[in-house]
Structure 1
Amino acid sequence: MPMSPADLEGRLQAAFPDAEIVLTDLAGDGDHYKARIVSPAFRGLNRVKQHQMVNRALADVLGGTLHALALETAAPPSDPAG
């Protein structure tokens, strides 16, 4: 059974509570998503480490319920005032 966008977003929001998350269903089948995640948790980490964090958060569904996930991750820009 495919994963709904709401389920995927909920899992990502639980793992990265302060994140801005944008999901795109790439094939319209609930099986192939693109996720853009901007989270303070990624600050100071390279892209590989950021993606590893996301993959760990979804480890129990990746390759099963969730067949494919393209990731775009980033830390938010630093606050110039702070």
Structure 2
Amino acid sequence: MAMDATHIEQLIKQALPDADVRIDDLRGDGDHYAAHVTSSAFKGLTRIQQHQLVYRALQGRMGGELHALALQTAAKD
């Protein structure tokens, strides 16, 4: 069962309330997304640590409900 882009955005915003989130459905199949996430929670973190925060926000859905997610993260100024 595929995940809805709105649900992905909601999960990320629950974990990172100040996040600016944009979700793009890359193939139109509800299975392959790109997420662009900017949050002050990312300040001082490596790119890997930033991505880990986003993956934690998805509560174990990666590889199951959510097949593929390309991440771009950045710290807010």
Report the alpha carbon displacement of residue 53 of structure 1 after superposing the two structures with TM. 1.0
Large movers: runs of 4+ above 4 Å: none
Q: TM-score, normalised by structure 2?
A: 0.94
Q: Percent identity?
A: 52
Structure 2 residue aligned with 1:80? none
Shift of 1:59: 3.9
Which blocks of at least 5 consecutive residues in structure 2 are unaligned? none
Q: Matched residue pairs, number?
A: 77
- SS of 1:28's equivalent? coil
Aligned-partner Cα distance in 2 for 1:45–1:60: 21
Give the superposed CA RMSD.
0.9
Name the SS of the counterpart of 1:13 in structure 2: helix
| Matched AA of 1:7 | H
Q: Which residue of 1 aligns with 2:26?
A: 26
TM-score computed with the length of structure 1 as normaliser? 0.89
Q: Which has the larger radius of gyration?
A: 1
Q: For residue 38 of structure 1, what is the aligned residue in structure 2?
A: 38
Long gaps (5+) in structure 1 = 78-82
Does the 8 A contact of 2:14 with 2:57 survive in 1?
no
Equivalent position of 2:70 in the other structure: 70
Query: Within 1, Cα distance between the matches of 2:13 and 2:52?
Result: 16
